[in-house]
Amino acid sequence: MQADHSREIREIQQMHVREIADKGTRHKQEISFLKMVITKAAAWFPYFREMLRIENLCYFVGFSDGQTATLVKGKPLEYAGELYSEEHGRKFKTEKAGVQVMKYPTDRIRLVLAIDRKPIAEWFKEQFEKLRQNIRRPIQPQRKGRGI
């Protein structure tokens, strides 16, 4: 009885090992197929990789799924809220900003996320400069009185 039990366990373990190997093979085939599809899509649609990059950027700066979908479709979006800048390591508030995906001015194949028709990097720099200007405003020294 113990020998039968050991034999059955070995058979089950062998079946398990074969199933795992088969699943690994199928998984590699699926990955290979998906890579081929992505390569073809990128060749057929020049903006495909750019749109994926823009989608990641939208999520990173703080747009929701719906807002990102609107932008990736090429439609303009009016946005009020906070956007995160990795370069400056902070969020910037905006009210009623027009956001849109546009062609890069110097390279027609590249796309850029634009806020108020300015590339987002430039917009973030402007916001940072405004913040710095507000912080560095000179404080008028108080005049000392003549005393009593």
The full set of domain ranges for the chain reads: 1-44, 48-135
Q: pTM (2 decimals)? A: 0.68
Band of residue 47 on the pLDDT scale cut at 50, 70, 90: confident
Which residue from 53, 55, 81, 51 is spatially nearest to 66, judged by alpha carbons?
55
- The CA–CA distances, whole Å, from 146 to 17, 140, 143 equal 94, 18, 9
Q: Is residue 75 predicted with pLDDT exceeding 80?
A: yes
Q: Is residue 32 predicted with pLDDT exceeding 80?
A: yes
Average pLDDT over the chain, rounded to an integer: 88
